[in-house]
Structure 1
Amino acid sequence: MTAWGAMRERIESGDAGEVAAFARRLDEAERRAVAKELPGYLRERVALSEWRTLDAEAVRPLLVAGAGTLGGPAAVATWLSRRDLRSWSQESFAGRVVEAALDRPAEWRAEVARRLAERLRIDADWRAGDLWDFTAAFARSTGLEPPATDGFVAGWVRHRPYDPRVLRDDPWADVLLPRVFEVDGLGALLSEEWPERIAALAEEGRFDRKPLLDGCVSRFLRGGEARDLRWFVALHDALAPTPDESFARLRDHVRLLPASPAAVAEMALREVRRADDDGRLGAAEFAEAADALLFRPEKKLVRAALTWLDRTARKRGRVDATLAALTAVFPSEALDLRERAVKGAVRHAAHVTDEQTGAAVREAAAVLPADLREAVAAAFGEVEEPEAGPPVPPGLPPFTPRTLPPPIGSPAELAEEFAARTRTESEWPGTERLVAGVVELAYRDADAVREALRRVLPDAASWEMSPHALDSYDPGVWATMCVRTLFDPKPKHGLVDARGILRHGRSWTRGDRDVPVLDRFLRWRLREASAAVRRAPVLLATPTEGSGHIDPGVLVSRLERLEAAGADPGRADLAQALLRLPRDAADLDGDAVSRAARLPSKAGRAVAAWLASGGLADPDVECATVSLPQRGRRYGSGRPEYVSGTVATVLAAGGLPPDIAPLLAVPEDGEWKSLPWPYYYGPMAWWPSMLPSHREVVAAHVLPYSGHWDDVLVGQGALLAELAEADGPAGTATAHVLAYGLATSPADERAAVVDAFAAFAGRGALPAAGLGTALGALVARDAVTLNRAARALDGVADTGAYADVLTVITAALPALLPAPGERPRSGLHDLIALGTRAAEATGARADVPGLAAVAARGGSSRLVREAARLHRTLT
């Protein structure tokens, strides 16, 4: 029997240990013979597998065989890195892989480790863990230093046990631990238990403290995201620098104050104050630190700085320097901060030693409101009155509609786009374009498309090419299903008719009532697209505008192409195309109406009738508060739990096409008690492009899920941005969705939410009064928290939308102002202060019910002070 025949028998037996032992017994010629056959054998095994995916039992002997027979380190590293040889198992078998190559020289194995290490990435998921195991095993087998690439260091910190004894005895720690401070993005991966244990080992003398402290400070100075730097802050604190160690790095601590993330700046401030307490902080360092802190955007840091400056001004003999620093807060938009700065300045006015300091305070006070100007004038002398009239707010940037890239024009471009596709449910334009490209180009020349795609298919996850991908919530998989149809003339999936999907709650997953109707319709349509490959020259419903709309003339041209080819559009494709026509389609293109009227097909007549009638009229949408099923309905073991939620009912007119009418049935069965599961992980950001002329209807579909946004994969910003791109009235349902978006957006999502609000405001479509009313009602019944909404609205104001922000706040306040003796909600003070800033910027006047009564309560609480300021400004 040949060497390859014997190796093949051992591979197919699944015994990786026997494969390794046999590989070591082969001579060079036999190894080359086996290595030559391995790639073809792997392709054969993958082709014969059910889902073009090999399980771990089949993968392991193949990996071992390659490690033991392939000739060069580069070939072995490439083989072990192949995507179709990922084990998808967290059980390591790297020892067997290295065992097959133990008779190779140590330098050869070290080169394999180096080449594997270069392939490792910091952001690799758990399926790449076996690749790190292979790298580490090859490196250990040599007795040499490990390859300290960024990816290898990331794998090392992931694979270190939490037991400090393991780290103490790890021979690689001396090489790899210093690299931890140099690899960007690593802090977010590090265990929270490591700082204390590294500090304990440093206390024992296992690690030198100085490189650790220097590493932390150098990492801070290099900058980065807050989540990446928090671990290094924890390590710095765990090391507990001595006063001398801290003072040795004082200049670096001062340099960290202006722009570092808040956690780093707080640490640096502690060290600076520590030096000040010891009398080691010089005048230049004090001035630099004070100026840096008082310009920080975080109110917590500014308050801490104001407290420090106030307590040390006379104690350290630096009243003039302190007052010069405090004037930086006078123009602050945070009313409570500038009030504290003024009080501090007035408190120390009698101890000023330089007349120029008093003049600087009086000059800076010109920007203060009247009551604070009067306080400064009483302590420092007359303050000049500000120029008449409110400040001019920054201009709101105009709304710029999103543009779509041109259609894919060649098989080569299609292959490139397919290889680089982004499987993100919020990025619907890319999937629409890719699916349309597959259908059109495959109809022209299927062989050319297949040939172009063969080059990129090995890089696609095999699971995506299986019918199981139909269960995915990610519609990006559907582009892969269209490609799969090119290589499988008889797909194992068929079409599902509209009644099965829409009327009986059945999609291709039987009886899946937890899938919303818009998602079921989307899946039906994309399934149709897969069946249209090689059978239709074009899809009707591919958008031509960034909002999801279709140009009427382009739609009629597509119908003409279909009729010329003797093909009929899919029912879902036709229904979606109709819904994507602009609101004024007939006025936009009268020629398209007459051309459609001349088409003899049933689809042509449907388009002509839709255009002639003006399309779908705006239905009435009503909102109400009902009991919605809570998580216990699906996953709990007892009776369902219910929670109060806001929902919308769409009151659509009759006579709609049967494939469109179910999309306007909100709720589907007329009652909310059978609401589809509100914890939904589907492509919700796709929905506005499905009904781009009716954002209020889309909002009605979205609303039941808005209260559970933490359990929905799509971010608030992505969905709200799509609603801003859409057209149609923005009523109560849209206002409630926007209110949920404001009040549930986490910090990392807030910028996207602010951008979406700016887009609404920029095109004059923000329902500001309705939004404020909705926000007040939701907060009043504890459906959302106010503090997040206040922070998000502050960002919206910074875009220049002061008038809209003021309208939101004045509409929300009547429901939010507390009764006498009632504790104000968290965030209410900031919301009222923001209202004052917006009123000052616009010069608007308004009467807010209940505001005057709160302002007149007396006392020094912040609620009363902020209410009094807003009332004075508005009246």
Structure 2
Amino acid sequence: MTSLVEAVRAGRTAEVIGLLEGMTDAERRAAFPELKALRKELRAARWDEPSRRAYPALYVAGTACQTGAAGAASWIAAADMRWSGVSPAVLVHILADREADWLADLVHRLAQRPASARVPYELMSALVRLAGCPVPTTDAYVRGWVEHIGGSWRRGDTVLDRLRGDPHLAELVAALFETNDIGGLLEWGTNGGPNSWNDALARLTVEGALDRSATVDGCVARLLRGGTTADHRVFLRVLGSLALTHEEQRGRVADWLALASDAVSPVASHAQSVLGALVLDGRLAHRHLAELSGAVLFRPERKLVRAQLVLLGKVLARDAGAADGLLPAVAQAFGHEDAAVQERALKLAERHVKKVRSDDVRSELAFAAEQLIPALRGRAVGSLGAAPADAAPVHEEVLPPVPEPVRLAPAPASAAELAEEVGAASASDADVAGFERALDGLVRHAHRDREALLEALEPVISRRWWNDTDRFHGLRAEHHFNHRTVFSPYDGLDLLLATLRGRLSAAALHAVLRRDTPAMTCVHGAMSRAFDARLWEVAYRIRTEPLPFLLSTPTWSTGLLEPEELVERLETYRRLGARVAAADFAQALLRVRRGDRAAATAAAERAAALGTAEGTRLAHWLTAGAPALPRVRRRTSGSRIVVETGELLELQEDFPAPFRALGRPTSAFGEDRYCFHWSDSLRAHWTAVLPEMRELVAVRLLRDLSAVAVDDTRGAASVLPLLAESGGEAGEATHLCLAYGLGARHPEDRLAAVDALLVLAARGQLDTARLGADLGQLARHGCVKPLRLAESLRTAAATGAQATVWGLLSHGLPPLLADLAADGPSGPVRGLGDLLAVAAECAERSGARGELPHLARAADRRGSSRLVSEARRLRGTLVKEVTAA
């Protein structure tokens, strides 16, 4: 046993295999505890040279010395063994003498492991051959099989050739249809023909190696279940390659109907074409066509809807008796969001309404016509007998209630409760309220009873990397924090926890505080320095002169601090004889509410009566008036529209050095473009640094917000609702940030921008003319894609804010319409028709009237494109009232 462990430690794998072959089962069992102890030893220093040398031999020895299949499976699939580099053939060799039942148990246990365990397929398949057992059909085994078959390591053959020679083809192909997210693997590395999975599966089905019915059922079932785009693409190609007969198609009518109704667009289109062909061949009853129409005509994809209306038109033209059964299906398109679809459906109904025999059907058509847009409904009065529209009701704008800020609860009273909150806040990058409560609680309890606090925090601190004294001896943590800014709230709490634990010295903390040069020169540098300065100061005071509590803890979740509350805190400081921390007091001044002049004046009198320097400074700050904004200049940077701000002297005077940069001139692109302020959660805390000066925050976020639209980045727009809920004037920078957010690439960013839009509108702070003009200019510059913008504005309008959205578009559309020359030499901006559709809908519902510059030129263009039809619809809405026929 000793010689075996020595050979393992020395990494002599060949010698280990020889020793194992000469050992009995009892000797192997006796050796295992030493191997287990060696593994524990190597885990502590996994990446050094001795451990890298020993791991392959340890992997082999541990596998051979396990007596139970469960233990062997755990050893083989362990994460620390995954990169041992041992060939699967070596493990097969040392396991070959085991009983077949034991091997079967082992391979099925290995196959049950997740695919991320990366158990080699070659090992599992070899064990299946040795055991003669049924092949596993688990996710890990099937994925391994697909990678093995599709790999390019074997030259001279194809995927089709490899599948033909597989003894478990039928079982594994059946499992293929049940494996989630497999499409990407099936497509990887293939170039069509016999080396593509879809072609190979189709050919094997045609040859009879695979049961045709099972393959067709598997493809259809997989498409019904849904999945990734790659899954749909692969299995749809297999289905198409099989060229189903009419009988096979008819036998699955219910499946095609379900796919046409709910599947993704390419799959629904295929199902629609299959059913359409059956209908035109007379192999499908009209009731099935009506059912199909009911499913398709409610879909948003205009291509599918138009194709369905074309199909209905063909059948109605062929069979006069189909009108009673199919025209009600046509009428379902009267409620489609696209006016062009409504007009096409109305024309179809008008063309065939004379064939209707039933009065009930005529009544149904007339009733359905009430869903048409006003211009078309007026037509339907005469052609379908629809009732004339009543006088348009007075529009009532629906906006969400103004969000109310949440008052922060007091810091946790007990150290144990605080430890729970700190653990939760540091695990999830807490919001402003959670972070500020945790920060103030750490300060209070460090002042009250440092030892009790450390004891309560031990479960939290023990999981931190910087607490590993055996590896870092405290030096690595000090170096790490000394050379980094605070990149997230998580880092900020880590800084304080490391300080409490003694991992950062007072000298190191003081050196950082004395450093005036900013660590970053990016556009976020001023916000970052102000946020960081308070945290470093708090950490230093914890080591030298703990503060009783923080002056700057906000009253509200937005970051605002009530002036009376700050005065009371200063009174307590004077009573305790505590020395005020400069950065903490500076942040308190920036947070204190000055917009309420009555409250600010009353608090100023109390502050002046304190007789302290801080009281006098606070009184002067409160009586100075509402915060002013610096001058603003707009310019272009590449294709982007950006904003520069001038100097704000109010923030230059009597503030510590890290805070003065907040009042210096700023440009969204005038400084380093690359930085490490990647955390979306950190941006939320910047809004709480200047809760009554949101423009100074917005101008520093403008570059990030422009990137969500121009560069298709993700996540930065999550700060927009907080910016909208913040205080101060909503000026150029705020509206530009919102404009970029409305044109963001990702839906979650656009939804955040819509939330911010509605909040600003509800607070009466939205300048629709300014934002609309920004949107028009950004779309002209190519920074914002009109299709994305139309989706955002349609979402906002759907909440009831039609007048607000119309106000935006009435100022945003003219610049885009002005670019349309009479003959359209370069064509319209892509998506302009969608914007016009949203504008027409909002104008109809809000009762807008008047003229829109350049709209007439678009409406007078030739053709029936969506742009032209929606321009005509909008012009008709704006220039005249809808009259009863």
Equivalent in 428, 452, 455 of residue 459 of structure 2 = 452
User: 1:506 maps to what in 2?
Assistant: 519
**Cα deviation, residue 554, structure 1:** 6.8
Residues 469-525 of structure 1: per-residue CA shift (max 9 Å, x gap): 959966545555655566663479944878997x74425xxxx75875434555666
* Pair 1:766–1:75, CA change in 2 (3 A): farther
Alignment check: 8 A CA contact 2:279 2:286 kept: no
How is 1:486-501 mapped onto 2 (pairs within 5 angstroms)? Answer: 489-490=503-504, 494-495=508-509
Instruction: Find the aligned partners of 1:336 and 1:273 in 2 and give their Cα distance.
Output: 22
Instruction: Find the aligned partners of 1:696 and 1:204 in 2 and give their Cα distance.
Output: 70
* Pair 1:848–1:440, CA change in 2 (3 A): same
User: 2:823 maps to what in 1?
Assistant: 821
* Pair 1:428–1:370, CA change in 2 (3 A): closer
* Pair 1:672–1:160, CA change in 2 (3 A): same
Equivalent in 173, 178, 189 of residue 174 of structure 2 = 178
Question: After the TM superposition, which of the residue ranges 205-214 and 420-429 deviates more from structure 2?
Answer: 420-429
**Cα deviation, residue 662, structure 1:** 1.0
User: 1:627 maps to what in 2?
Assistant: 637
* Pair 1:152–1:414, CA change in 2 (3 A): farther
**Cα deviation, residue 288, structure 1:** 0.9
User: 2:194 maps to what in 1?
Assistant: none
Instruction: Find the aligned partners of 1:564 and 1:107 in 2 and give their Cα distance.
Output: 80
1:385 aligns with 2:392: no
**Cα deviation, residue 220, structure 1:** 3.5
Instruction: Find the aligned partners of 1:58 and 1:772 in 2 and give their Cα distance.
Output: 67
How is 1:338-349 mapped onto 2 (pairs within 5 angstroms)? Answer: 338-349=342-353
Alignment check: 8 A CA contact 1:786 1:828 kept: yes
User: 1:635 maps to what in 2?
Assistant: none
User: 1:314 maps to what in 2?
Assistant: 317
* Pair 1:853–1:541, CA change in 2 (3 A): same
Instruction: Find the aligned partners of 1:738 and 1:422 in 2 and give their Cα distance.
Output: 30
SS at match of 2:335: coil
**Cα deviation, residue 806, structure 1:** 0.5
**Cα deviation, residue 776, structure 1:** 0.7
Paired AA for residue 619 in structure 1: L
Paired AA for residue 822 in structure 2: P
Residues 339-365 of structure 1: per-residue CA shift (max 9 Å, x gap): 111111112233333333333222322
1:661 aligns with 2:657: no
1:839 aligns with 2:843: yes
* Pair 1:309–1:138, CA change in 2 (3 A): same
Alignment check: 8 A CA contact 2:56 2:84 kept: no
Instruction: Find the aligned partners of 1:94 and 1:472 in 2 and give their Cα distance.
Output: 46
* Pair 1:226–1:437, CA change in 2 (3 A): farther
Alignment check: 8 A CA contact 1:699 1:737 kept: yes
User: 1:691 maps to what in 2?
Assistant: 690
Instruction: Find the aligned partners of 1:172 and 1:481 in 2 and give their Cα distance.
Output: 57
**Cα deviation, residue 423, structure 1:** 7.0
Instruction: Find the aligned partners of 1:207 and 1:339 in 2 and give their Cα distance.
Output: 49
* Pair 1:399–1:91, CA change in 2 (3 A): farther
Alignment check: 8 A CA contact 1:391 1:841 kept: no
Instruction: Find the aligned partners of 2:632 and 2:772 in 1 and give their Cα distance.
Output: 17
How is 1:757-776 mapped onto 2 (pairs within 5 angstroms)? Answer: 757-776=757-776
User: 2:114 maps to what in 1?
Assistant: 120
Alignment check: 8 A CA contact 1:153 1:176 kept: yes
* Pair 1:804–1:515, CA change in 2 (3 A): closer
Instruction: Find the aligned partners of 2:599 and 2:793 in 1 and give their Cα distance.
Output: 37
TM-score, scaled to structure 2: 0.79
SS at match of 2:632: strand
User: 1:639 maps to what in 2?
Assistant: none
Instruction: Find the aligned partners of 1:559 and 1:21 in 2 and give their Cα distance.
Output: 79
List alignment gaps of at least 5 residues for structure 2: 153-158, 191-196, 880-885
User: 2:257 maps to what in 1?
Assistant: 254
User: 1:637 maps to what in 2?
Assistant: none
Instruction: Find the aligned partners of 1:306 and 1:435 in 2 and give their Cα distance.
Output: 63
**Cα deviation, residue 325, structure 1:** 1.2
Figure out how many residues of one structure are paired with residues of the other and give that number: 838
Alignment check: 8 A CA contact 1:439 1:529 kept: yes
Alignment check: 8 A CA contact 2:522 2:675 kept: no
* Pair 1:825–1:524, CA change in 2 (3 A): same
* Pair 1:306–1:561, CA change in 2 (3 A): farther
Instruction: Find the aligned partners of 1:826 and 1:42 in 2 and give their Cα distance.
Output: 61
1:741 aligns with 2:741: yes
Alignment check: 8 A CA contact 1:178 1:215 kept: yes
Larger Rg: 2
Residues 246-283 of structure 1: per-residue CA shift (max 9 Å, x gap): 22211111123333333332222122112223322212
Instruction: Find the aligned partners of 1:143 and 1:705 in 2 and give their Cα distance.
Output: 60
Paired AA for residue 652 in structure 1: L
* Pair 1:220–1:750, CA change in 2 (3 A): farther
**Cα deviation, residue 731, structure 1:** 1.5
List alignment gaps of at least 5 residues for structure 1: 629-642
How is 1:371-450 mapped onto 2 (pairs within 5 angstroms)? Answer: 371-380=375-384, 382-390=385-393, 395-401=398-404, 443=450, 445-449=452-456
Alignment check: 8 A CA contact 2:741 2:749 kept: no
Alignment check: 8 A CA contact 1:435 1:529 kept: no
* Pair 1:585–1:326, CA change in 2 (3 A): same
Paired AA for residue 120 in structure 1: P
Paired AA for residue 663 in structure 1: L
**Cα deviation, residue 679, structure 1:** 10
* Pair 1:427–1:612, CA change in 2 (3 A): closer
Instruction: Find the aligned partners of 1:67 and 1:482 in 2 and give their Cα distance.
Output: 45
Paired AA for residue 291 in structure 2: E
Paired AA for residue 337 in structure 2: E
Residues 797-843 of structure 1: per-residue CA shift (max 9 Å, x gap): 11221111111100101101023222221111121121111112122
**Cα deviation, residue 78, structure 1:** 5.6
Question: After the TM superposition, which of the residue ranges 758-767 and 132-141 deviates more from structure 2?
Answer: 132-141
Output the aligned Cα RMSD: 4.9
User: 2:645 maps to what in 1?
Assistant: 649
* Pair 1:693–1:323, CA change in 2 (3 A): same
Instruction: Find the aligned partners of 1:170 and 1:481 in 2 and give their Cα distance.
Output: 58
Alignment check: 8 A CA contact 1:485 1:533 kept: yes
Paired AA for residue 847 in structure 1: E
* Pair 1:82–1:554, CA change in 2 (3 A): farther
* Pair 1:828–1:131, CA change in 2 (3 A): same
Paired AA for residue 875 in structure 2: H
1:801 aligns with 2:801: yes
How is 1:674-713 mapped onto 2 (pairs within 5 angstroms)? Answer: 674-677=671-674, 681-683=678-680, 685-686=683-684, 687-709=686-708, 711=711
How is 1:274-353 mapped onto 2 (pairs within 5 angstroms)? Answer: 274-317=277-320, 318-353=322-357
Residues 133-158 of structure 1: per-residue CA shift (max 9 Å, x gap): 98788778756456544466556656
SS at match of 2:829: coil
Instruction: Find the aligned partners of 2:453 and 2:122 in 1 and give their Cα distance.
Output: 42
Instruction: Find the aligned partners of 1:62 and 1:472 in 2 and give their Cα distance.
Output: 42
Alignment check: 8 A CA contact 1:391 1:840 kept: no
Residues 30-67 of structure 1: per-residue CA shift (max 9 Å, x gap): 33431552475256537xx89xx998667666655654
Instruction: Find the aligned partners of 2:425 and 2:208 in 1 and give their Cα distance.
Output: 51
Residues 414-465 of structure 1: per-residue CA shift (max 9 Å, x gap): 7777887787779676666666676666745354245423775699999999
Equivalent in 211, 215, 224 of residue 208 of structure 1 = 211
Alignment check: 8 A CA contact 1:852 1:871 kept: yes
Instruction: Find the aligned partners of 2:466 and 2:225 in 1 and give their Cα distance.
Output: 35
Equivalent in 361, 376, 381 of residue 357 of structure 1 = 361
* Pair 1:592–1:369, CA change in 2 (3 A): same
How is 1:848-859 mapped onto 2 (pairs within 5 angstroms)? Answer: 848-855=852-859
1:617 aligns with 2:627: yes
Paired AA for residue 676 in structure 1: R
Instruction: Find the aligned partners of 1:527 and 1:140 in 2 and give their Cα distance.
Output: 64
